[in-house]
Structure 1
Amino acid sequence: MKDFFYAIQDLFVDYLFWPFDVLRELDLNNWWLSNIVSWTFTIISLVAFVYWMKQLKGYNDNNEEDKSVTAHEYL
């Protein structure tokens, strides 16, 4: 079981966090370049949120959702 946790450690430390290591080694003084990973995740999240809201609006416009009070048994 110990090898399993070491494998997870290797995955994160050696592969998934390498962009942060590169940015730390560059010792950037520019705020925009230092936060490029955060901005990338923010943009991806914003695009996903807009897509999800468009899908919800499409279902709402088609009246596909049962909005009655007795839609669920526990109500």
Structure 2
Amino acid sequence: MKDFFEGIEWLVEFTLLNPLDELRALELDSWFLANILNWVFMIVGVLAFLYWMKQLKTFNDRNEENRESTSHSFLG
């Protein structure tokens, strides 16, 4: 079993996390390049939020939502 877990350790450390180590090495050269993955995640999050707001607006404009106080049990 020890060899099995050491194999998992090798896979994660030297294969899956190696690109992140390379990005960390860039930190001395450029802060923006070292944090490129964070910037990508933030941009994806903002785009998803804007898409969600657009979809909510289209449903709101079509009056598809039931806005009566009895539509949810906790409202009345």
Shared topology, TM-score over 0.5? yes
**Residue type of the partner of 1:57?**
K
Summarize deviations over 1:28-59 as a string: whole Å, max 9, x none. 32111111010000000011000000000000
Q: For the pair shown, which has the larger CA radius of gyration, 1 or 2?
A: 2
Once the two structures are superposed, the pairs formed by residues 3-14 of structure 1 within 5 Å of their partners are 13=13, 14=15
Unaligned 5+ runs, structure 1: none
> Relative to structure 1, is the Cα distance of residues 20 and 62 closer, same or farther in structure 2, using a 3 angstrom cutoff?
same
Residue 44 of structure 1 is matched in structure 2 by 44
> Relative to structure 1, is the Cα distance of residues 31 and 10 closer, same or farther in structure 2, using a 3 angstrom cutoff?
same
User: Helix, strand or coil: the match of 1:67?
Assistant: coil
> Relative to structure 1, is the Cα distance of residues 11 and 63 closer, same or farther in structure 2, using a 3 angstrom cutoff?
farther
User: Helix, strand or coil: the match of 2:54?
Assistant: helix
Contact 2:59 2:65 in 1 (8 A): yes
RMSD over aligned Cα, in angstroms?
2.6
TM-score scaled by length of structure 2: 0.70
- Distance in 1 separating the partners of 2:73 and 2:11: 45
- Distance in 2 separating the partners of 1:68 and 1:11: 55
Q: Which has the higher contact order (CA 8 A, sep 6+)?
A: 1
